[in-house]
Amino acid sequence: MTPAETHADWAQRVRERRLKLRFSQDQLADTLGVRQATISSLERGHHVPSDELKWRLAGALGCLITDLFPYPAHRPEFPGPVPARRERVAS
């Protein structure tokens, strides 16, 4: 994270992207396999996601990881093929 970058900065980008896609926090949580409280905490900047969750967030929100976070996170190693992207839930 750069000195000028705060948790609130990337948290706001996650929230804005979710709202742009018309995802509820519940829908995003279901897509990621986490609790809604985790998404809420992320969007308030109270929870710093793991590198794996950063990649999953970017995938679920249909953007590059660098669109959300200030520097590339370590890409987790997946055993076997990378899972296919899930279909977005229509609201």
Share of the chain above pLDDT 70, in %: 71
Boundaries of domain holding 23: 7-65
The answer to whether residue 59 sits within a structural domain is: yes
The answer to whether residue 11 sits within a structural domain is: yes
The answer to whether residue 19 sits within a structural domain is: yes
The answer to whether residue 81 sits within a structural domain is: no
The predicted pLDDT at position 87 comes to 54
Handedness of CA 70, 37, 62, 21 (dihedral sign): negative
pTM: 0.71
The answer to whether residue 52 sits within a structural domain is: yes
pLDDT tens-digit readout, 19-51: 999 999 999 999 999 999 999 999 998 988 998
Number of domains in the chain: 1
Q: What is the CATH number of the domain that holds 58?
A: 1.10.260.40
The predicted pLDDT at position 77 comes to 62
The answer to whether residue 60 sits within a structural domain is: yes
